[in-house]
Amino acid sequence: MQPPVLYDNHNRPITYLRLAVTDRCNLRCFYCMPEHGIQYLPKKELLSYEEMLRLAALLARMGISKVRITGGEPFMRRDLMPFLERLSQTEGIRKITLTTNGVLTTPHVPALAKSGIDSVNLSIDSLDRARFARIARRDELPRVMETLHSLLQHGIRTKLNAVVMDGQNTEDIVLLAAFARDHAVDVRFIEEMPFNGKGANTPVLVWHHRKILATLQEAFPNIEKIPDEPFSTSMNYRIPGFQGNIGIIAAFSRTFCGTCNRIRITAQGMLKTCLYDDGVLNVRNLLRQYPHDDAPVEAALRRAFSQRPKDGFEAERNRSNHLPVRESMSTIGG
Ligand code: SAM
Ligand code: SF4
C-alpha cells in the first residue's frame, strides 16, 4: 500500500517529526540555555511516553515517516531505550534518528546499534577541552569523545553538529572538518540562532554560512559542492580524500524554508510547524481531552498544517507576542 502523503498550504510534503522528549539537560551550552534560573517543567506537563507513541502513530497514519528524538538531552529522560524500541514498532515510522550531546550516551550505544537506529547526530562544538568546557559550561569533552568512538566502533552512521560562534570556536571549523578526513563521519556547521533563553548574543550574526564556507575554502581549496538530498537543511560539500562530507546549515539565514518537510513537538506537547513560531497548537491538551478519540486531534493537526507560514521570517512576524525569540532550544527540541 502507498504511504499517505501530507501536504501543507504551500504544497510542501510533511514527512518528518522532531520530537523533544525532555527539556532537561546536563550541559549548559551558552547558546542554548542560561546558566542559572532554569525552571524545568513539572513532569505532568511533559508528554508521557504513552502520549508520544499515540501521537507518533497518528502522525504516521497521516504521512509522517521519520522521527528524530531530541530535547533537552534525550538520555536525561528515564527509560528512553524501551521507548525507542516501541517507537520503532510503530507502523509507518520507517526512520528513527537521535540528537544527543553524548555525555550519558556511551552505555546505550550497543542497544542503539541493535535497535537499527538510522543515524545519530552528536553535538560537539569544540575538540579542545578548555573551549568545550567554556561553551558547554561543563568539562565533559572526554565523555563525548568516548561516545563518538563507540558510535563509530558500532558502525552507527554519525554526524557531528557544531554551532559556530564568534570568538568561541572558530578555530574548530578546520579542526572539526579535518576529523571527517580521518573518520567516517559527516561534520555540519550550524549558524547560531537566538534560542538561548534570553535573545541574541550578538546584534548581527557574524559567522553566517558564507563566512563559514570561506574559512573552509581557505583551508581546503579543493572543497567542492555536492548535490543536496531532497529536503536537506544543509548545503553539502566534499573534500577529495575525506571519508565524510561537510555540511553548512544556514539556520539563522533560513535558506531552506522552501522545501521544509519538518514539524516539531516540544517537550510539553506544543506543535511548532516552524522553528521560529511560538507554538501553534497545544497537542498535549487535545490528547488528554480526547483520550480515546484521535479524530479531533487529527482535525486540529490538519488545520495547523494548512496554515503553515511560508518561511521562518513569516513565522517570526506571526509570533503572538511580536517579541524577538527568547525561547531556549532545549525546550523547543533543536
Ligand atoms: N542535547 C542534545 C544535543 O545537544 O545534541 C539535543 C538537543 S539540542 C537543543 C539539538 C541541537 O540544537 C544541538 O546540535 C545544538 O547544538 C543545537 N542548538 C541549540 N541551540 C542552538 C542555537 N541557539 N543555535 C543553533 N543551534 C542550536
Ligand atoms: Fe543541552 Fe543540547 Fe542545549 Fe547543549 S545544546 S544545553 S547539550 S540541550
pTM to 2 decimal places: 0.94
Evaluated on CA atoms 134, 149, 89, 5, the torsion sign reads positive
Determine the atom of ligand 2 nearest the C-alpha atom of 329.
3
Query: Which residues in 44-171 belong to E strands, given as ranges?
Result: 66-70, 95-100, 119-123, 158-164
Q: In this predicted structure, what is the pLDDT of residue 264? A: 96
Angstrom distance (rounded) from CA 105 to CA 100: 8
Domain boundaries, the chain: 16-332
Q: Which of 101, 164, 168, 190 to mutate to test the pocket of ligand 2 (most atoms within 8 A of CB)?
A: 101
**Ligand 2 and 331: CB distance under 6 A:** no
pLDDT digits (tens), the chain, 334 positions: 677 889 999 999 999 999 999 999 999 999 999 998 888 899 999 999 999 999 999 999 999 999 999 999 999 999 999 999 999 999 999 999 999 999 999 999 999 999 989 999 999 999 999 999 999 999 999 999 999 999 999 999 999 999 999 999 999 999 999 999 999 999 999 999 887 776 666 667 889 999 999 999 999 999 999 999 888 889 999 999 999 999 999 988 888 888 899 999 999 999 999 988 889 999 999 999 999 999 999 999 999 999 999 988 888 888 876 555 556 777 776 6
Long-range contacts of residues 51-55, Cβ cutoff 8 Å, at least 24 apart:
51/269, 51/284, 51/287, 51/288, 52/19, 52/21, 52/83, 52/87, 52/265, 53/83, 53/86, 53/87, 53/90, 54/287, 54/294, 55/265, 55/283, 55/287, 55/297
Q: Which CATH class is domain 16-332?
A: alpha beta
- Name every protein residue with a CB atom under 6 angstroms from any ligand 1 atom: 25, 31-32, 70-71, 73, 99-101, 123, 161, 163, 190, 192-193, 195-196, 251, 329-330, 334
**Ligand 2 and 147: CB distance under 6 A:** no
Model pLDDT for residues 77-130, shown as the tens digit of each residue: 999 999 999 999 999 999 999 999 999 999 999 999 999 899 999 999 999 999
Q: In this predicted structure, what is the pLDDT of residue 323? A: 55
- Mapped onto helix, strand or coil, the DSSP state of residue 75 is helix
Instruction: Report the separation in Å between the CA atom of 32 and the middle of ligand 1, taken as the mean of its atom positions.
Output: 7
CA angle, corner 243, sides to 240 and 247, nearest 5?
A: 80
Q: In this predicted structure, what is the pLDDT of residue 96? A: 97
Instruction: Report the separation in Å between the CA atom of 293 and the middle of ligand 2, taken as the mean of its atom positions.
Output: 35
